[in-house]
Structures are given as C-alpha cells and as structure tokens.
Structure 1
Amino acid sequence: MKIAIALVLLIVLLMAILEIRRELRIFQVTHYLIASPKLNTFSGERKIVFLSDLHDQQYGKHNAELLNAIKKEEPWLILIGGDMMISKEGKNFELAREFVAQLPAIAPVYYANGNHEQRVKEFPKRYQMDFTLYRQELEALGVIFLENETVTLEKDQVRIQLTGLEIPVENYQHLRMPPLALSEIEERIGQAKDGYNILLAHNPAYVEVYKDWGADLILSGHFHGGIIRIPGMRGLIIPGFGKYKRYSGSVYLDGDKRIVVSRGLGNHTVKLRLFNKAEVITLHLQGKEGIMDKVKN
C-alpha cells in the first residue's frame, strides 16, 4: 500500500514538473468584456490589449510569437502596466526596449511603470541602467509614458481619462504592504476627472483606494497570478500571505467598476508557474451590460 501511494505521488510530482516546464514557455490570450453606461455611445466595441510583467521573457525570436498574437487582436490601444524589464544588478533594458519598440506599429502605446522601472529610475547607480535613455528611445518611436500623468482620449463622444499611477517604492515590500491613503494618490495624480477613468496602477494591493479615487477600470499586475493556482481558486503565492489573494489575477466586478489583474507574461526570481499560464489580455469595451471571461489558448 505504501509503495502504491509513493508511486502515485511520484507520478503526480513528475506531471507537475512537466506542466511547470510547459507553462514557462507558453502564454494565452484572455478576453474580458468591460461594460459601462459611460461607454453607451460607443459604436460597437473598442479593443484594448493590456500587457504586464514581461520581465525580459521571450516568446520566439525577437518575441515574434507574442507580437503576432497582439497584431491578431487588432487593438485600438495597447496599454502597458509595467515591469517589462528586470531591475537587478547585471541586467539591462535591451530586451524590454526591443519588444516595446515594435508595438507602436500595431496601435498607440501608453506605458505606466511598474516597480522594476521605478526602481531603475530612482536608483540608476544601483542598477547601472539609465531609465531616462530607455524612455527617450521609446518616446522617439511613439510610446507615451504616463508617470503620474493623465491623457484624455475622445472616441464616439466618450471622454476616456487614461492615468498612469506610480506609488512609493516602499509600497512594494514583500512581507508588509504599508498603508496608502487616498490623499497620497491625489497628491500624485490629482482627483479623477469627468469621463470614463482608466487607471494603470501596477500594484493591486491598493485596489480599494483606487476605487475610492474614482477609477472606472483598474488595470494592475505585479502578483503574477499567484504563481501557483488551484483550478477554480485564487493564486497561492503572493506578497502579504493571503491578505491580497482576492486580486491575484482575473477580472473583478464592483457595481459599475471593473478591476483587471494580469497574471503577467514573464517571471523573475521564482521561475515557476502551475495552472497559471502567462497571458495577453484583450479588453472589449462596450456600453451594453455584461461580462465575458473567455480564454483562447
């Protein structure tokens, strides 16, 4: 009996290892329908591709597989939620720059920083990377960075306010998330403006504050889907040991508000994914009511 149990456990372990190796090499396209009365004048729908947490991952030569998947979506906009690079000694931003540089040929690109870009920007000597150069090179190709900034987009009589939020670096601690007050957010990006407010905010630990600020659609990442997911449940491994598991990676509804947390496209430090495929997210913005969670492999 003990031998049989040990054999079963060994088979399960081997299958898990094989699945982890597979998931580290693939990604999927996840579709969410985002509905709001504020979008009622849209003629049809507007598709937005949301990318987060690439961390220098490559899918094919020069990320050709990833770029082809994005092109196939034919997006109206491409929004980046941060962490395209890895802020670590001995790393550089070349892989991130090469990938992002190819996106403006597909659709307009708006880029909000994650904690990795922010650390490189604030501590250039520590990481031996020049974030100013990275930004300038991509801006020259048409990428628009939103560092505590808002742009207004007009489409079909809808005024979309697109904001990129940077929170203090200390709010990215692994074991303890310091509080973040609404007043601190408003000091950085001001109050929410009239229209449909999309907030690119990398860290989903502060979703409740983002909602209080007035965001209609919150786009986050950072938690990598919880690394390991039990089907039908939330991610298991995220900062805070469970306090923030509600927002580990999916779409969440709160009245007319929508929160989308990407499971990310890459990995760093802990190179592990189980039942938690990397993803490109396509948002289908519509005025009618409804919600869709459809996965394409």
Structure 2
Amino acid sequence: MGIIPGLLAGGAAAALFLGRSEYEKDCLVTDTYEICSPKLTEGGRTLVFLTDLHDKEFGPGNRRLQETIRAAGPDAVLIGGDMMVAKGKGELETSLRLIKALAGEFPVYCGNGNHELRMKNKTEIYGNKYWEYREALEKMGVVHVSDGHVCLDRDLVLYGVDLPERYYRPGTPSMEPGFMEKALGKSDEKRFSILLAHSPVFFEEYAAWGADLTLSGHFHGGTIRLPVLGGVMTPQYQFFYPRCAGEFTDEKGRRMLVGRGLGTHSINIRFCDKPQVLVVKLKP
C-alpha cells in the first residue's frame, strides 16, 4: 500500500473510531448483579449505583438517565463520587440537578470521589464549592457519607471512605497499614457492610477491613475495552489494569463491583465501553 492510500485508510479508521466513540458516549446500559449473604435477613432489596457522571447529560435534565434508574425500581440510589469535573470553575449545576431529581423519588446516599475532594482541598481555585455541594445535598435530604457510615436497615450498613490525593497519583500506590480503621473505625461485623470507595485499587485492604461489598468506579472502564484484554488505560496511566470494570471476589467471598461510570473528562473517549447504570440486588 502506498503512502497516500495508507493515510486515507488510517484517516477513515480514525473517523470510524471517533464516530463510534461519540455514539457510545450517549448510550446507557444497565448491568445487574445479585449479591447473597447470610447477614442479609430483612429480605431482598434493590440498589442502584452511579459513579463518574462528570457533568454528562443523557437528554435534557438527564431525563433518560432518570428513566433508566426508575425502571430498576431501586430502594435506594448510591453515588460513588466524581459527579462533577474539578477543572476550570468546577460547575455543580448538572450534578445537583440530577441528584435533586433522584432525591425526590428515592433515598440517595453520596460518597466522594477524587474530583469532590479536589474541590475541597484546592480552595485557592474552587473557593467554597465543595461546601456548597454538601450544603445543597443536605437541603435535598441526601445523606453524604464522608469518612463515616449510616445504617440503612437492621442488617445493612453503608460506609464511605475519602481516599487522600496520593492514592490517585499515577501508577499503583500502596495503602498505609491501618488507614481504613483510622478513617472509618472498625467495621460492623454483624451487619452486611457496603463500602463506597472511589478507587478499586485497594480491594484487598477494603475486604480485610471488613467490607462485604465494595462499590468503586474512577477508571471509566478503561476508556477503551478490548476482548480478553479488558480496559486499555486508567486515569492513573495503568495499562490493561485488571480491575477497570466488573465483579471481583476474594478468597473469603467478599466482593467488589467496579462501575464503568457515566461520563468522561480530559480523555473524552469511550470505545466498547458504554456508560453504565449498575443495579445491585441484595438477597438473603
């Protein structure tokens, strides 16, 4: 093949790739996972887990996303962080509009991702945006789970851990011994413990601490997903990292679900990686 035909073929392939990416970014899929545990004694419940919205809108006012969540019939909506983009001025309008709409129909519980915490820590850029966000959630009746916990039922407790900025740096950082207990105290061994932990890197530490189910996101499914190989690249520049998306179980049966998220930022590409609403069905 000559240079010009090769360039034309490469350009056509790139155009197809970008066109497919634009199509996928506006799709919505629902994936359902069933979790059974002898700790769950109060009957079946359905939870919806959202993560990494990054100001994305699926239809005016996120109407399509709301309809998708409503169709799942959740008993509660759990949000794993990164609802906005901590870049530029750090707008809150899109994320708060969606959360307010959801809070009008369901109990909503929000954890923090690295973008919420970036707003909190970089006041020289974002001022009081983080505290504006938290105050708005409180007025909506949303429970913000930040280095704390809330009992959802007699057999169910939800924790949310704020991971320091150093845990989001490029590569695969390690977690200091005792970090989880220092942040959250000891886990409740009698109740089924759900942990909102934005990064999936530390699954072993979450499970060892006592999380029966960890809900994570952060990696956007790896941006580009390939058969067998999975996600190509994480925001921390890990290539073909195995925990970009999906379900993972340790030797004691503790589980982690990693959502592919809903939006994008910086690298605005999705390929074989459609935005996801994750449904969790808890059963005794």
Query: Which TM-score applies when normalising by structure 2?
Result: 0.92
Q: Deviations over 1:164-191 (max 9, x none)?
A: 0002122111x23432124112111011
Q: Per-residue displacement from partner, 1:235-261 (whole Å, max 9, x unpaired)?
A: 011145547812101111224211100
Aligned residues of 1:226 and 1:236 also touching (Cα < 8 A): yes
Higher RCO (CA < 8 A, seq sep 6+)? 1
Measured at CA, do residues 131 and 5 of structure 1 come closer, stay the same or move farther in structure 2, by a change above 3 Å? closer
The answer on 1:223 being equivalent to 2:219 is yes
Look up the match of 1:290.
none
Is residue 258 from structure 1 mapped to residue 239 from structure 2 by the alignment? no
Structure 1 match to 2:33: 32
Give the match for residue 108 of structure 1.
107
**Structure 1: which 5+ runs fail to align?**
288-297
State the Cα distance separating 1:267 from its structure 2 match.
0.6
Q: Secondary structure at the match of 1:95?
A: helix
8 Å contact from structure 1 (residues 182, 212) kept in 2:
no
**CA displacement, residues 35-71 of structure 1 (integer Å, 9 cap, x when unaligned):** 22322x343x211000000000011111111111111
State the identity %: 35
RMSD: 2.0
**Which residue number corresponds to residue 274 of structure 2?**
277
Aligned counterpart, 1:52: 51
Mapping 1:278-293, distance limit 5 Å: 278-287=275-284
Question: What secondary structure is seen at the aligned counterpart in 2 of 1:259?
Answer: strand
Query: How many Å apart are 1:271 and its aligned residue?
Result: 0.3
Aligned to 2:195, which of 199, 207, 222?
Answer: 199
Tell me, yes or no, if the aligned pair for 2:52 and 2:82 is still in contact at 8 Å.
yes
Alignment match of 1:190 (pick from 170, 185, 189): 185
Q: Aligned residue for 2:244? A: 248
Partner of 1:165: 161
Question: How many residues are aligned here?
Answer: 281
Shift of 1:15: 2.8
- Tell me which amino acid in the other structure corresponds to 1:280: V
Checking the alignment, whether the CA contact within 8 Å between 1:181 and 1:209 is kept in structure 2 is no
TM-superposed deviation, 1:90: 2.5
How far apart, CA to CA, are the structure 1 residues paired with 2:240 and 2:75? 31
Q: Structure 1-normalised TM-score?
A: 0.88
Deviation at 1:5, TM superposition (A): 7.4
The 1-side partners of 2:268 and 2:127 are apart by 24
Number of the residue aligned with 2:19: 18
Aligned amino acid, residue 279 of structure 1: Q
Per the TM alignment, residue 8 of structure 1 is displaced from its structure 2 partner at its CA by 6.1
> Does structure 2 retain, via aligned residues, the 8 Å contact 1:109–1:143?
yes
